[in-house]
Amino acid sequence: MLRNADFRRLWFGQTASQLGEHTSLVILPLVAVLTLGVGADQLGVLRAVARRRNCCSRCSPGCGWTAGAPVP
């Protein structure tokens, strides 16, 4: 599989994407605490907003969650 150039590009692209996403889950709150001096309540809001963004971006327009009601 690694001999296929298209698969290699896809695999490396997905790996970089996942690494960036998971790194931001650690780095963003750390930077917020160390440089901005945010408290626990503000950090909780920051994490909730970040998780909401990830949840909504993974739903396709026809999945029913975006409209708030199931799609028949």
Element (H, E) at 43: helix 40-58
Domain residue ranges of the chain, discontinuous segments joined by +: 24-54
Rounded CA separation 36/45 (Å): 14
Higher-confidence position of 9 and 57: 9
pLDDT in tens, 10-29: 999 999 999 988 887 788 88
- pTM, 2 dp: 0.45
CA 16, 19, 22, 23 torsion: positive or negative? negative
Q: Are 28 and 46 contacting, i.e. CB atoms less than 8 angstroms apart?
A: yes
